[in-house]
Amino acid sequence: MNHTVEVVGLGKAYRHYPNRWSRLAEWLLPFGPPRHQQSWALRDISFTVAAGEAVGIVGFNGAGKSTLLRIITGTTRATAGEVRLHGRVAALLELGMGFHGEFTGRQNVMMNGQLLGLEREELEELMPAIEEFAEIGAYFDEPLRTYSSGMAMRLAFSLATARRPELLIVDEALSVGDAYFQHKSFSRIREFSEQGTTLLIVSHDRLSIQALCDRAILLHEGQLLREGAPEIVMDYYHALMADRTFAHIRQELNAQGVVQTTSGTGEATIVEVALQNAGGANTDAAKVGEEVVMSVRFRVHVDLPSLVVGLMIKDRLGHEMFGINSHRLSIPIENLAAGSEHVFRLRFVMDLGEGHYSVTTALTRSDAHVDRTYEWRDRALIFYVINVAHPRFVGCNWLAPVASLDAPDAAGSGADATGT
């Protein structure tokens, strides 16, 4: 397999000196004892990205994501390991860096474009397309100091993506400008991906990672913690947000071959999540418009004064379709004895669009799951929705429309019975 990016044993360490004299002494006495402390921002990172593949990098602030991208693009030198790149690289790291406030947008494009490796003749050819994509109007020929920050970002993104590269590296650039331009930027990156560009993307946005990426990498405290399918890595990442100690996070393959991410303190746990049709039989497929029951069987392991059961239905990309809990439905669950089992049921009409969906379940102490979570389980149930009884439609919900057509009113057509 051809690889566009190969990262082997990569590490980056920074030296910290107690004072400036220690730095000077170490420089003057190179064979003396070290006078600094070393902290590793990255340690022993290895992965490959195949040609045409899209890989997302996620992690908390300070995990080493931006440092990794800077090493890959060559703006920071690694302490250990190596990076091998193949093909033309475009990086969207710090958009607008190098722009000069006294020069016009056009002049900044010409100067910075050459720094990006584009020839002057090539930039002149691309200039109309860059101007059109940025959509900043007459400001394109005004000094950059008159721009808003959003306008400068538009210009920088338009320049950086003027030519389709073999490898595009993106660091939170999907948050460029207003909502309209974010959508436009996202569409351009998706278009590059469809045309064969290899993508390496850093983002905290689950939907962007799952929509764009074939694989995801989770960095934690400078080390590669998880690597795999985007939805599985993102499930683990979100569980890690609630439990930084890893003590209660586990990922397991269930009997259906689905990887479930489970976290929580364990005072109560899920036994079974099931979907039943109108006849009461368990099913993994429901028809649009069919009445169904979703049930959650849970076991209590210690005496609990109260508990809240929550359910969230998500589509295949992780978009939240519907979420509710027992507290919001005014169903009190109180005075639970250790060893007891209970079943929480929701009856509803399946008005989702065709496709497959997952269910996330939560057992918590109160309405706010951050208070105390007994168990949180992603992908606790996978089910499908099919449309056999309604007209074919697009979208995520069936709205049961009632259509009508009013006939023209002959009396109000502009002429009376006499024709005058």
3-state secondary structure the chain: CCEEEEEEEEEEEEEECCCHHHHHHHHHCCCCCCCCEEEEEEEEEEEEEECCCEEEEECCCCCCHHHHHHHHHCCCCCCEEEEEECCCEEEECCCCCCCCCCCEHHHHHHHHHHHCCCCHHHHHHHHHHHHHHHCCHHHHHCEHHHCCHHHHHHHHHHHHCCCCCCEEEEECHHHCCCHHHHHHHHHHHHHHHHCCCEEEEECCCHHHHHHHCCEEEEEECCEEEEEECHHHHHHHHHHHHHCCCCCCCEEEECCCCCEEEEECCCCEEEEEEEEECCCCCECCEEECCEEEEEEEEEEECCCEEECEEEEEEEECCCCEEEEEECCCCCCCCEEECCCCEEEEEEEEEECECCEEEEEEEEEECCCCCCCCEEEEEEEEEEEEEECCCCCCCCCCECCCCCCCCCCCCHHHCCCCCCCC
Q: pLDDT truncated to tens, each residue of the chain (420 aa)?
A: 577 899 999 999 988 888 887 877 777 777 778 777 788 999 999 999 999 999 999 999 889 998 998 899 888 999 999 999 988 787 777 666 678 889 999 999 999 888 878 899 999 999 999 999 999 999 999 999 999 888 888 898 899 889 888 888 888 755 656 778 888 888 898 899 899 999 999 888 888 888 889 999 999 999 999 999 999 999 999 888 776 555 578 888 877 778 889 998 999 999 999 999 988 899 999 999 999 999 999 999 999 999 999 999 999 888 899 999 999 999 999 999 999 999 999 999 999 999 999 999 999 998 876 678 899 999 999 999 999 989 999 989 989 889 999 887 655 555 454 444
Domains delineated in the chain: 3-232 (3.40.50.300), 247-386 (2.70.50.60)
Report how far residue 87's alpha carbon sits from residue 118's, in angstroms, rounded to the nearest whole number.
15
On whether the pTM is more than 0.85, the answer is no
